[in-house]
């Protein structure tokens, strides 16, 4: 029977433990970037909606009051 050096086994175990952390961090960063993109898109959409005149709002079937309500919502709310 051969003995496994303790130092070599420790290095392999440490390398295995680090990999999921990196993947989890990448996933977390990707989710945060997706949230930021969605927030930015919502803010742009709401400002564009606020800029529409009454004729354009009537074309899409929204009243001025509904447009103002939607435009005044915070960017983080759906």
The sign of the CA dihedral 78, 74, 52, 56 is positive
Kindly report the number of other CB atoms within 10 A of residue 58's CB atom.
12
Domain boundaries, the chain: 9-71
What is the per-residue pLDDT for 63?
95
Q: Tens digit of pLDDT per residue, the chain (78 long)?
A: 566 666 655 565 555 555 666 677 888 999 999 999 999 999 999 999 999 999 999 999 999 999 999 999 987 888
Rounded CA separation 34/52 (Å)? 27
């Amino acid at each position: 029977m051969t003995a496994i050096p303790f130092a070599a086994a420790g290095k392999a175990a440490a390398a295995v433990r680090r990999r999921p952390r990196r993947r989890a961090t990448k996933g977390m960063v990707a989710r945060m970037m997706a949230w930021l993109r969605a927030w930015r898109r919502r803010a742009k959409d709401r400002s564009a909606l606020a800029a529409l005149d009454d004729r354009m709002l009537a074309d899409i079937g929204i009243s001025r009051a509904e447009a103002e309500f939607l435009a005044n919502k915070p960017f983080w709310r759906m």
